Structure 1
């Protein structure tokens, strides 16, 4: 009998796989997925630069811990898997993972609200409480076409700097997290800020910007309210929700 994936990896990697598969399914549950496109990647514990990513062609709601594919920084498989990967889709992720060893997870979406705001010249506006959390650590990167060009990587890294919210102009949203839970919570807030902005603009009335002193003090408030935007607070509840509506991610 062939050995299962769980028996081939460490306990730490298996736990990472379970959380990453859950994140994929939660992205689908909240409607941020784009069929089989976009990716969430996570660094595998250990000295090697190895990462987990979705099997290309799977819907996000189908992904399991065992189906995730382990790859290197070039997008090549480093563990046997019957599933294909999309090395070109890993271009953005590999650039960020190579430069930001402080983060474990990179989450990228093409949500309609996110793309809509990314196409606006002024980007995220300070018009909601959610937007303030985003603006406390937000970077922008101008569109250079479909992200397949290796030459774009240095500019992706330069524009990101040390931020954890990243708006790719005319393209979508990206978050970085010390954990998968952190990256997910940050994407939830990012998406909410964009949705609120699009709806507020659609109302046609004059928008009320939040006062600059409040914006300047938001970083300290973030630490107080969300423990530094730590996803650990919300993650157990999200997993319970997923267990009710779409179980099986831990297979």
Structure 2
């Protein structure tokens, strides 16, 4: 008799699994996925340095709380499962998780708008209100090829430092946060900023840059707007949307 995953893990781990599966599915809903490639990872609550990541070969809209794979910092699977992971895909995530205790959730996406902005010499610019949130905690990492070289991890975490947003040059976008909800909200803002910039630049018209003094105060304003709740403010609504359009993530 097969024992259900929910019956073999703690309540806290199960809740993390539900949130992470929901995050995969809402990314698919917005069309930000890249077939079976890119990853969203989350640290399992508890003293062990274990993490949840998508099973390699499954589409984002197929991810459930039960089929997420639990691994250690080296990408070794630490819980019985019929699934495997993409070791190369976990390279970036393990680097961030290992270096940053506050990086409970790490999102890395290859969206069209994100990759397009990552190819621009000047990167993301302060052209929109949305961009200010990302620019207030932004970092960049130069492209080194497919993420297979363990030595790149050192350079990546040095570039990330204590920031929450990263643009990987010629590659894509990354956010990290203390909750899945916050990591998703950050990615939403970063992705939307990239889309707005590209559409504005496509007009060929002169553009207005937001003043530095406004950028410098944006974090305090963000806490006021979200009542210091961050992503938690929008997360229940996201789950309700998924229950309507793509239920089953919590299985």
TM-score by length of 2: 0.98
Residue 125 of structure 1 is matched in structure 2 by 125
CA distance in 2, matches of 1:20, 1:217: 31
> Aligned to 1:79, what secondary structure does the other structure show?
coil
Residue 111 of structure 2 is matched in structure 1 by 111
Residue 71 of structure 2 is matched in structure 1 by 71
- Kindly tell me the number of residue pairs found equivalent between the two proteins: 251
Aligned 1:163-242 pairs, distance under 5 A: 163-227=163-227, 230-242=230-242
| Cα distance, 1:213 vs structure 2 | 1.5
CA distance in 1, matches of 2:176, 2:72: 18
Could you list the runs of 4 or more consecutive aligned residues of structure 1 that deviate by over 4 angstroms after TM superposition? none
Unpaired runs of 5+ in structure 1?
none
CA distance in 2, matches of 1:207, 1:196: 12
Residue 24 of structure 1 is matched in structure 2 by 24
> Aligned to 2:151, what secondary structure does the other structure show?
helix
Q: 1:222 touches 1:229 (CA, 8 Å); kept in 2?
A: no
Residue 84 of structure 2 is matched in structure 1 by 84
Q: Aligned pair in 2 of structure 1 residues 228, 200: CA closer, same or farther (>3 Å)?
A: farther
For 1:103-160, what per-residue CA distance to the aligned partner results, in whole angstroms no more than 9, with x for missing partners?
Answer: 2100000000000001001111000000011111000001111111001011001000
Residue 100 of structure 1 is matched in structure 2 by 100
| Cα distance, 1:18 vs structure 2 | 0.5
| Cα distance, 1:220 vs structure 2 | 1.8
Unpaired runs of 5+ in structure 2?
none
TM-score by length of 1: 0.98
